[in-house]
Amino acid sequence: MNLKTLINKSVYGTIGYIADETDLIRLEQYISYNLEVLKEFKQVIIATNYSGDFQEQNSSIWKKYLPECVILDSPVNRGHNFGTADLDNKIFDYCKENSIEWLCKGANDIILTNKLFEWPIKKADFYYLNGFSFQTVYENNFNLEELEKNHFTPQTNFYFINVSKTDYLNNKEYLSETYSITKTIPNYNNKPWEYIKGWSCEEFLAECIKRNNLTRFNLLDVGGLYSQLFDLVKTYQIGDPSHKNIMIQGVCHFQNPEQSIFELDLVI
């Protein structure tokens, strides 16, 4: 089986933040670039929060390319990380409420190409890209086998999950409690994990997978991708575990469009 089979029975859920007109321009560029892949999904669902009155423009851009898409605007923006967790929940809850089985969770700064279609996969409940940094590599003695055995940090900006086999994604009460705590922290730096152990969207996702006993398949485990990415992170001492600007078999967290891209492809 390849990933295109799963794409064709999944909805694509993407989240984003619109701060200004520049974000809208970039959004349209990314949608246009991704369109060939996006049209292969059963449906596209978009959850967005804003720092201004851009709801109508955001909806207009999406509907221009995907007229049947679903727009879920967030009336409250609790800022970086908390806002992201809230938007993730909006996508997840929509799938639960509408009996959607398979969700491919993405983000507005992800770019996709048709190389995704060729990705070989095995049957599972959850498909993901493991996130790691140079520090993670160091802590695992520069040993890929140790890393794979000890480290489970699924990236939240690209994964497939069987929603029907889960209870919830991010605990809303916990989010509200910890958000209130951050409001009492002097000079809070918008990095909740530096104050509250275990607070990250990646850890929440990992907890969801473990809590619901989902079978999982690391997309890096085929075609030499894990080894290629491991060597890249080690060689360039990449400190960011989210693999920004690394195109992995047709998917890239393209947060820095002014910078170049490393490209990794399957070796079969």
Residue 268 has pLDDT above 80, yes or no: no
**231 confidence band (pLDDT: 50, 70, 90):** very high
Contact 156, 126 (CB under 8 A): no
Q: What are 43-52's pLDDT values in tens digits?
A: 999 999 999 8
Average pLDDT value for residue range 146-174: 96
Query: Tokens 């060597």 — which residue?
Result: 231
Residue 57 has pLDDT above 90, yes or no: yes
Q: What are 73-110's pLDDT values in tens digits?
A: 998 899 889 999 999 999 999 999 999 999 999 999 99
Say which DSSP state 109 is in. Answer: T
Q: How many angstroms separate the Cα of 240 from the Cα of each of 84, 234, 243?
A: 18, 12, 7
**What order of strands is seen across the sheet that includes strand 102-107?**
70-73, 43-50, 11-18, 102-107, 154-162, 126-130, 216-218
**CA–CA separation, 78 and 86 (whole Å):** 8
Q: Mean pLDDT score of the chain, rounded to an integer?
A: 96
Average pLDDT value for residue range 101-127: 97
| pLDDT value of residue 150 | 87
| pLDDT value of residue 96 | 98
Q: What are 34-43's pLDDT values in tens digits?
A: 999 999 999 9
Q: Please, what are the domains in the chain?
A: 3-135+152-222 (3.90.550)
